[in-house]
């Protein structure tokens, strides 16, 4: 169970959060049941972090009360890192595409299409996992996001 105020892990049977001192009681349910001013639960906010990549990731990192929710912060950072990686790979393949002649150009274009489709599938998968209250970590980016969250 996590604290609804700061997202810290709570010990079994604890009445208060050891990190921020918030009361743990009937008003604090499981993750995803966090009452917010905007009406979004943690799982919905986590899924929306991926919607527009780094833009929505940054939004959820600075918006109250999501910036204190560990689950939302993890997904926001992972969304930012994924969109930066997507841009970097897409840019590198675009440079490769522009310098290759003739037949190699077509192979590079097909490679770029396959990689873009792969990133799109990962993006949808991460939105789905976040919506289902799962903190799925991508191999490198997930570890970076976990350190930042």
Domain boundaries, the chain: 1-30, 42-148
The more confident residue out of 92 and 37 is 92
* Residues 132, 48 contacting (CB under 8 angstroms): no
The more confident residue out of 64 and 118 is 118
* Residue 8 reports pLDDT greater than 50: yes
Confidence band, pLDDT 50/70/90 cuts, at residue 36: very low
State whether residue 133 is helix, strand or coil.
Answer: coil
Burial of 136: CB neighbours in 10 Å, binned 0-12, 13-18, 19+: middle
Q: What is the mean pLDDT of residues 21-37?
A: 51
Cut 0.75: pTM above it:
no
Q: pLDDT value at position 129?
A: 92
Confidence band, pLDDT 50/70/90 cuts, at residue 31: very low
pLDDT, one tens digit per residue, over 95-148 is 887 887 777 777 877 888 899 999 999 999 999 999 998 888 888 888 888 888
CA-CA-CA-CA dihedral for 100, 140, 66, 68, to nearest 10? -140
């Amino acid at each position: 169970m996590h604290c609804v105020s700061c997202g810290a892990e709570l010990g079994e049977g604890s009445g208060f959060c050891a990190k921020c001192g918030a009361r743990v009681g009937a008003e604090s349910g499981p993750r995803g049941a966090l009452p917010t001013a905007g009406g979004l639960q943690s799982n919905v906010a986590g899924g929306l972090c991926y919607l527009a990549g780094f833009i929505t990731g940054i939004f959820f990192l600075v918006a109250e009360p999501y910036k204190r929710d560990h689950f939302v912060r993890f997904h926001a950072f992972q969304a930012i890192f994924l969109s930066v990686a997507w841009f970097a790979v897409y840019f590198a393949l675009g440079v490769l595409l522009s310098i290759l002649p003739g037949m190699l150009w077509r192979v590079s274009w097909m490679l770029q299409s396959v990689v873009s489709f792969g990133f799109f599938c990962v993006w949808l998968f991460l939105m789905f996992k976040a919506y289902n209250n799962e903190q799925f970590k991508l191999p490198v980016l997930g570890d970076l996001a976990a350190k930042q969250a």
